[in-house]
Chains A and B, each alone.
Chain A
């Protein structure tokens, strides 16, 4: 299979605090990989390293076989290929819904406004937000913001989309609408890497589930194994605690 990203011996420390130690895994085209694990285990840091929002302290990130940490490719160009959806949405507050989805296409991909708008409308349609194009971020709900944030990331036509707990900041009744969009994307063949506490989503949608603990990958397997018959005691313990809630 065509590997989009391969991570080898990735490490990250903040000062003396080692947050990621020797992470190895890869994501292939069209795969949906969910990352689970308790708070503080390094899930966000791993995702942020993949988008270079944090710079790894060691190891390699291979993008189609090329180590991007060796600066063969400008960081900005690489980042545009790795879309990111944040827990706090992080929409641009000075821009309306449509402009949020156009600004990157125009400034980074150098598209003309007409084709940028067409692309933005296509994805706003997909997430069900095309009716709200003139709204400012402070005029829409959290679930709507997150759907716009997904459309913004998709408008850049990334190779893979990274989600960092996309539903954790939402009121419970708004979680469903975002998960529905994400399921739709997964079915459409988009490559997705999702940090989540939504075990139902991981079980139903993921091709693979990665369990992280204290900065290492403890287990990386298909959801049937992780959820029904995990090999590692730590995985079992985490799932028992989580599913009890």
Chain B
């Protein structure tokens, strides 16, 4: 008896839906946690790598800064220059062999995705910081703000807004790329889909379902982050306050841009 594609899909879904949902949940969890931690790593490294160093800096501080900067650069280049699938194996088996630490696959997965994302985000954040014009740094310094105050109040809010599209892109990539964690048996969506397909040997039909689930996740995330971007931009109109004759009068002016 021949089944149609649709009948296969319904059959597979009915007998494996919990696997798909658990897989999707784990994928989303690892991708989200990894992106957030990676973002935090990126912010910290991005800030360190844009500390201004000039003739006026103490020589010891300058040497310390050079060494730290070099180590950070090594981290960035190594993790950007090797495949995540290999990093996963090296960390997971390396932790067990060298340190006798037996990480749970999920923990190892989050760790890998985080430091991998951190390496990319470090450069993205650095670019975001450098995209804020030097004049605003100078204006902040000229009213007595320290480098840290300038970063926290002026530069980072703008840098983060500027890098939101790139961050959202990293998140989407992470949702897809957690599939490589199946090599260390992380029970994410691809790994569980494979085991479902292994039972019925209907690879095409099973993976079609998997495809749709991945797409729903990435599409939803993209929309949500786009919405956040628009919210962060604030209203495109402003109000004129208190005309002399009628203090309550508010005239709405449309954005000049």
From the candidates B133, B149, B157, name the one contacting A107 in the complex (CB within 8 A). B149
- Min CB distance A133 to B, Å, is 6
The answer to whether B242 touches A131, judged by C-beta atoms less than 8 angstroms apart, is: yes
B2 at the interface (CB under 8 A from A): no
Please measure, in the bound complex, the distance between the C-alpha atom of A217 and the C-alpha atom of B135, giving whole angstroms.
27
Q: Is B158 an interface residue (CB 8 A)?
A: yes
Q: B199 contacts the other chain (Cβ, under 8 Å)?
A: no
Give min CB distance, A218 to chain B, whole Å.
Answer: 27
Instruction: Answer whether residue A201 sits at the interface, using C-beta atoms and an 8 A cutoff.
Output: no
Decide if B253 touches A84 in the complex (CB within 8 Å).
no
Q: By the criterion CB–CB under 8 Å, are A83 and B238 in contact?
A: no
B157, A94: Cβ atoms closer than 8 Å: yes
Q: Is B161 close to A, CB under 8 A?
A: yes
Between A and B, how many residue pairs show CB distances below 8 Å?
A: 101
State the CA gap A18–B168 with chains docked (Å): 48
Interface 9-residue window, one of B12-20, B137-145, B200-208, B210-218: B137-145
Interface centre among A77, A89, A94, A156 (most CB of B within 10 A): A94
Decide: A108 and B158 in contact? CB cutoff 8 A.
Answer: no
Contacts A77-B144, A94-B158, A104-B144 given: A55-B238 contact, CB under 8 Å? Answer: no
* Nearest Cβ on chain B to A53's Cβ, whole angstroms: 6
How far apart sit A42 and B57, CA to CA, in the bound complex (Å)? 24
Most buried by B among A55, A89, A131: A131
B139 touches A94 (CB 8 A): no
Q: Could you tell me if B56 and A130 are in contact, using CB atoms closer than 8 angstroms?
A: no
Contact with A along B149-166 (1 / 0, CB 8 A): 100011001100100000
Decide if A139 touches B257 in the complex (CB within 8 Å): yes
Query: CB distance B56 to A76 under 8 Å?
Result: no
Question: What residues on B are CB-neighbors of A108 within 8 Å?
Answer: 143-145, 149
A83–B142 contact, CB under 8 A? yes
In the complex, chain B residues whose CB is within 8 Å of the CB of A96: 238
Is A136 positioned at the interface, with any CB of B under 8 Å from its CB? yes
B139-191 at interface with A (beta carbon < 8 Å): 139-146, 149, 153-154, 157-158, 161
What is the chain A residue whose CB lies nearest that of B243? Answer: A131
Q: Which residue of B lies closest to A140 (CB)?
A: B256
B148 to chain A, nearest CB (A): 10
Within 8 Å by CB of A132, from B140, B234, B240, lies: B240
**Contact at B240–A55, with CB atoms within 8 Å?**
no
What 0/1 pattern do residues 91 to 107 of A give for CB contact below 8 A with B?
11111100000011001
Contact partner, A138, options B56, B139, B144, B257, Cβ 8 Å: B257
Chain A residues within 8 Å of B, Cβ to Cβ: 51, 53, 55, 76-80, 82-84, 86, 88-96, 103-104, 107-108, 130-136, 138-141, 149, 152-153, 156
Known: A94-B157, A108-B145, A131-B240; 8 extra A-B contacts, CB below 8 A, are: A53-B142, A82-B142, A83-B142, A84-B139, A130-B242, A133-B241, A140-B256, A152-B139
Binding site for A on B (CB under 8 A): 54-56, 132-133, 135-136, 138-146, 149, 153-154, 157-158, 161, 234, 238-243, 253, 255-257
